[in-house]
Structure 1
Amino acid sequence: MVRIMPPDASWPEMFWHERERLKTFLGNVADELEHYGSTAVPGLSAKPIIDMMAPIPSLDDADALVSILAGAGYRKIDAGFFKRRFFRREPRGQQPAFHLHLAVCPRWPIKNELLVRDWLIQHPDIARTYEALKMDLAMAYGDDMPRYTAAKTPFLRYITNQARESRGLPMEHDWEE
């Protein structure tokens, strides 16, 4: 079910606590762990999920962490990604869920997700438009997460390319992950 929550000022702090906790499990990989997604944008309503991403040299390196991350409460999810591994830690009590993406990314830190995060922070008007879209889509597709995600994808691609253009980067056309 798609559930959008009002903004929570503690989301960034929750990320930092989780990042510190994961250093024991991820070692140096945790040093580049970034908070992205709506919970990383102050004042933005979001699904109660802390999205995190770090670069990793190869998918084999990410796969080597599966059992280690299981010890941290993360399970690997096959979400059809080609250039990353995706792990989820279920919510605990009042804490949100945590999503961990380990991405093979030679252009870190200009990863699209990070560019979008920064773009939304710098452009509150666009963040409000995105928030309104998410609320409308949650109402329309509340029980269908894949349709909700697919419906917001064109907007995210549009603002991704706005963010890229603002930094003098080429437009993104390869959306395969």
Structure 2
Amino acid sequence: MKNKEIERIIVERYTTNWATEFEKLKSVLNDYLKTLIYSIEHVGSTAVPGLSAKPIIDIDVIINNKDGFDKIKTILEKLGYTYCGEIGIPGREAFKRDSPLTPFDGSGYQWHQHHLYVCLENSDSLNNHLRLRDYLRTHLEEAQEYGRLKTELAARYPNDIASYVEAKTAFILQILEKVGFNQEILSKIELQNKALKPEAK
């Protein structure tokens, strides 16, 4: 276990800057990954207009299969991302930024803080991200309720990401049940969210 200071959990009011910064990142990633990928999606709470969130952009790079993953991994490493593996989430490969300048596109730009994942098309983890995002985008009252819950939990667990994640899991699961996830998948998501992981949605 690394002796590392725990980053404080802060939930902020929505800003359109999150969408703007995502589009900049998407443009750079598309320039380098080109035909190796299917699409790039802005997911997580920063992708939902009006929703309060931790100010960290979640990016899913979607691939049709794993055939070109080694090439994608090599390109991302050259751009300043370190490969972290699945971290307990099948179908989702996580990458960590090496520097505030990551991705290294030569511009010297200090990019907005973000999490980057390479996800298999139609995987449970990707469907979780996309369906939750799309539901909250079209159900403003529930999105605002979720934002209030996260604000309360950030105040209750300011230095405990595991408890923060687990405490908001029930809200996420009831939405995923509404959009058609079966009990087997919901149970897997619940177990995954009980694990200590720093890249919470």
**Same-fold call, TM cutoff 0.5:** yes
Q: Is 1:47 matched up with 2:54?
A: yes
- Gaps (5+ residues) in structure 1? none
TM-score, normalization: structure 2? Answer: 0.74
Aligned residues: 171
CA distance in 1, matches of 2:183, 2:116: 23
Q: Point out the more displaced range, 39-48 or 97-106.
A: 97-106
* Structure 1 position 173 matched with structure 2 position 180: no
What is residue 63 of structure 2 aligned with on the other side? 56
1:15-164 map, 5 Å: 15-29=22-36, 32-59=39-66, 61-78=68-85, 79-89=87-97, 91=100, 95-106=111-122, 111-162=127-178, 164=179
CA distance in 2, matches of 1:51, 1:104: 16
SS of the equivalent of 1:173 reads: helix
Q: Helix, strand or coil for the counterpart of 2:115?
A: strand
Pair 1:29–1:97, CA change in 2 (3 A)? farther
**Residues 107 and 84 of structure 1: CA distance in aligned 2, closer, same or farther (over 3 Å):** closer
129 and 101 in structure 1: CA distance in 2 versus 1, 3 angstrom threshold: same
1:84-142 Cα shifts (integer Å, max 9, x gaps): 1011335568743121211123369x822111111111111100110111111111111
With 53-62 and 153-162 compared, the bigger mean Cα shift is at 53-62
Contact 2:13 2:52 in 1 (8 A): yes
Contact 1:51 1:99 in 2 (8 A): yes
Task: Give the TM-score normalised by structure 1.
Answer: 0.83
Unaligned runs of 5+ residues in structure 2 are 1-7, 102-108, 193-201
Query: Residue 76 of structure 1: SS of its match in structure 2?
Result: strand
8 Å contact kept, 2:10–2:54:
yes
Identity of aligned residues (%): 33
Query: Once the two structures are superposed, what CA deviation does each residue of 1:37-96 show, in whole Å capped at 9, x if it has no partner?
Result: 111111211111111113224456434422311222222234222221011335568743
